[in-house]
C-alpha cells in the first residue's frame, strides 16, 4: 500500500505541474484570442487534432490487443485505459471548433458556396448542420466503444476469465471497423475540408496511422517512467520495451509509406484539383518543413530504431518516442497550417501555445485517471505468467 501511495503521489505531482502549465499557457491563449480570434481558432484546431491522437489511438490499440493478444498490450494497458477515459475532456475541447466553424471553413458560408460549383456539388455533405451532427455521432460512437472496452477491462482486472475476454472481442471486432470509418470521416470534416476543392482517398488512413504512431510513442514514454516505480517495476521487462520499439518502428515505416503513396498517386495523376495541395506545401518556405519531416520523422527514427540496443534500453527508446510525439505536432502543422497561408511559411506563437495548453490539460487529466487504477489485477498475473513462459522458451 505504501508503494501505491508513492506512485499515486508521483502521479499527483505530475498532474498538478501539468495543470499549472495548462493554466499559464491558457492565459496566454486567452490573450491571443482577444488579439486575433481567427488565428486563435486555427491554432486551437491544430492543438485539438494533436490532443485527439492519443485517446483515440489508445481505443484502437485496446481493441486490437483484445483480438490479437500479446504481452505488449498487457504491459501498456493501464496507460491506454487511462488515456481512453479522457475522451469526455477531448469532446469538450471540440466546442470552440463547433462555435467557430465559420471562421475556419469556407464551405460554411452560403455566399461562397453559391458562387463555387465544386462547393455547391459537395454541399449535401459539407454543410454546417451535417458537420455538427456528424461530430456528435463520432464522439458518441467513440465514447460508447470506450465505455464498453473499459467496462470489460475492469471485469478482467477482477477476474481474468474467458467469458469477459470473449465479450470484449465481440465488441472489438466491429468496433475497430467503426473506429476507422468514423475517424476517416472526421479527418475529412475537420482537416481535409479546410481546402475543400482537394481530396485524397488515403487521407483518413494517414490519420489512423498517425494516431497509432503517437499513441505508441506516448505509451513508451509513460511506461518507461512507470517502470522505475513500484508496482510496475515488478513486471515490466526489457522484452516488453523491445516489442514496443518494434511496433513503433513499424508505424514509422507505415506512416512514411502511406505519405509517399499519396504523393505518388497525386503526382502521377497530375490533376488540377489535386496538385495545388502539394504545391502549397512544397514551395514558399513550406518545403523546409517537408524536408524536415522526411529527414527527422522517417529517416532518423527509422535508422535509430533498427538498432537492438535502442529498443531494449527504456531511456533511449523513451527519448526516441518523445521525439516522435514532437514530430506528430510538426506533421500536423504541415497538414493544417498551409491551408490558411498559401503565400508563404507562417507560424503564429499561438501554434506553439495552444498545443502546450491543451496538451498539458490533457496530461493532467490523464495522470489523475492513471492514479485511480488498481495496484494489482488478474491481468498483471497473466503478464507475469507470460514472462515466465517466454523465459522458458528462451531457455
pLDDT tens string 273-294: 899 999 999 999 999 999 999 9
pLDDT for position 154:
86
Collapsing DSSP states into helix, strand and coil, what is residue 115? coil
pLDDT tens string 181-199: 999 999 999 999 999 999 9
Under the banding of pLDDT at 50, 70 and 90, the label for residue 234 is: confident
pLDDT tens string 325-364: 999 999 999 999 999 998 889 999 999 999 999 999 999 9
DSSP code per residue over 249-260: HHHHHHHHHHHH
The lowest-confidence range among 21-30, 45-54, 231-240 is: 231-240
User: Euclidean distance between the first and final Cα of the chain, in Å?
Assistant: 35
Interval 220-228 mean pLDDT: 95
pTM above 0.85, yes or no: yes
Q: Is residue 49's pLDDT more than 50? A: yes
Under the banding of pLDDT at 50, 70 and 90, the label for residue 39 is: very high
The answer to whether 378 and 159 have CB atoms below 8 angstroms apart is yes
Count: domains in the chain: 1
| Nearest residue to 305 via CA among 251, 369, 377 | 251
285: containing domain: 2-394
Collapsing DSSP states into helix, strand and coil, what is residue 307? coil
- What cell was used for 39? 488565428
pLDDT for position 388:
47
Under the banding of pLDDT at 50, 70 and 90, the label for residue 109 is: very high
Under the banding of pLDDT at 50, 70 and 90, the label for residue 230 is: confident
Q: Is residue 390's pLDDT more than 50? A: no
The answer to whether 342 and 294 have CB atoms below 8 angstroms apart is no
pLDDT for position 297:
97
Residue 291, burial from CB neighbour count under 10 angstroms (0-12, 13-18, 19+): exposed
pLDDT for position 342:
85
270 sits in which H/E element: none
- What cell was used for 314? 527504456
CA separation (Å) from 307 to 62, 238, 246, 371?
Answer: 27, 14, 10, 34
Distance in angstroms (rounded) separating the CA atoms of residues 276 and 286? 13
Residue 324, burial from CB neighbour count under 10 angstroms (0-12, 13-18, 19+): buried
Distance in angstroms (rounded) separating the CA atoms of residues 336 and 190? 10
Distance in angstroms (rounded) separating the CA atoms of residues 257 and 269? 18
pLDDT for position 254:
97
pLDDT for position 169:
94
97 sits in which H/E element: helix 95-99
Collapsing DSSP states into helix, strand and coil, what is residue 313? coil
Interval 122-127 mean pLDDT: 96
| Nearest residue to 66 via CA among 142, 152, 159, 138 | 152
Residue with cell 467513440: 142
Q: Is residue 179's pLDDT more than 60? A: yes
DSSP code per residue over 135-198: HHHHHHHHHHHHHHHHHHHHHHHH---HHHHHHHHHHHHHHHHHHHHHHHHHHHHHTGGGSTT-
pLDDT for position 1:
37
The answer to whether 361 and 19 have CB atoms below 8 angstroms apart is yes
**Higher-confidence residue: 264 or 377?**
264
Q: Is residue 387's pLDDT more than 60? A: no
To the nearest 10°, the Cα dihedral for 122, 128, 133, 138? 70
How many secondary structure helices (H) and strands (E) does the chain include?
Answer: 19, 0
**Higher-confidence residue: 156 or 90?**
90
Q: Is residue 35's pLDDT more than 80? A: yes
Distance in angstroms (rounded) separating the CA atoms of residues 146 and 355? 24
pLDDT for position 10:
94
The answer to whether 236 and 223 have CB atoms below 8 angstroms apart is yes
| Nearest residue to 215 via CA among 250, 260, 173 | 250
Q: How many CA atoms lie within 13 A of 22 on its CB side?
A: 16
Task: Compute φ and ψ for 79, nearest 5 degrees.
Answer: -65, -45
DSSP structure class, residue 124: T
Amino acid at each position: 500500500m505504501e508503494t501505491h501511495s508513492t506512485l499515486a503521489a508521483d502521479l499527483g505531482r505530475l498532474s498538478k505541474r501539468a495543470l499549472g502549465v495548462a493554466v499559464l499557457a491558457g492565459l496566454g491563449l486567452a490573450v491571443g484570442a482577444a488579439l486575433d480570434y481567427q488565428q486563435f481558432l486555427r491554432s486551437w484546431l491544430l492543438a485539438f487534432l494533436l490532443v485527439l491522437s492519443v485517446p483515440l489511438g489508445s481505443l484502437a490499440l485496446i481493441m486490437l490487443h483484445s483480438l490479437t493478444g500479446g504481452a505488449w498490450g498487457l504491459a501498456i494497458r493501464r496507460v491506454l485505459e487511462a488515456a481512453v477515459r479522457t475522451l469526455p475532456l477531448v469532446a469538450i475541447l471540440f466546442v470552440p471548433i463547433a462555435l467557430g466553424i465559420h471562421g475556419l471553413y469556407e464551405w460554411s458560408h452560403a455566399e461562397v458556396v453559391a458562387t463555387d460549383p465544386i462547393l455547391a456539388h459537395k454541399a449535401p455533405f459539407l454543410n454546417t448542420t451535417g458537420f455538427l451532427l456528424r461530430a456528435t455521432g463520432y464522439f458518441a460512437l467513440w465514447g460508447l466503444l470506450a465505455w464498453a472496452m473499459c467496462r470489460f477491462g475492469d471485469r478482467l482486472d477482477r477476474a481474468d476469465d474467458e467469458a469477459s475476454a470473449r465479450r470484449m472481442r465481440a465488441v472489438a471486432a466491429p468496433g475497430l471497423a467503426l473506429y476507422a470509418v468514423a475517424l476517416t470521416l472526421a479527418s475529412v470534416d475537420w482537416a481535409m475540408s479546410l481546402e475543400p476543392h482537394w481530396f485524397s482517398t488515403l487521407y483518413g488512413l494517414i490519420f489512423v496511422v498517425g494516431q497509432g504512431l503517437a499513441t505508441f510513442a506516448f505509451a513508451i514514454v509513460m511506461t518507461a517512467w512507470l517502470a522505475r516505480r513500484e508496482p510496475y517495476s515488478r513486471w515490466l521487462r526489457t522484452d516488453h520495451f523491445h516489442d514496443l520499439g518494434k511496433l513503433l518502428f513499424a508505424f514509422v515505416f507505415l506512416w512514411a509509406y502511406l505519405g509517399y503513396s499519396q504523393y505518388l498517386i497525386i503526382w502521377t495523376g497530375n490533376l488540377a484539383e489535386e496538385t495545388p495541395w502539394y504545391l502549397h506545401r512544397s514551395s514558399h518556405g513550406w518545403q523546409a518543413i517537408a524536408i524536415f519531416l522526411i529527414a527527422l520523422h522517417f529517416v532518423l527514427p527509422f535508422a535509430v530504431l533498427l538498432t537492438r540496443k535502442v529498443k531494449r534500453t527504456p531511456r533511449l527508446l523513451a527519448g526516441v518516442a518523445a521525439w516522435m510525439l514532437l514530430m506528430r505536432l510538426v506533421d500536423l502543422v504541415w497538414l493544417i497550417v498551409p491551408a490558411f497561408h498559401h503565400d508563404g511559411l507562417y507560424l503564429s506563437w499561438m501554434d506553439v501555445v495552444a498545443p502546450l495548453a491543451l496538451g498539458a490539460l490533457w496530461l493532467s487529466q490523464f495522470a489523475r485517471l492513471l492514479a485511480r487504477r488498481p495496484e494489482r489485477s488478474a491481468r498483471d498475473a497473466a503478464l507475469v505468467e507470460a514472462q515466465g513462459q517466454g523465459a522458458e522458451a528462451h531457455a
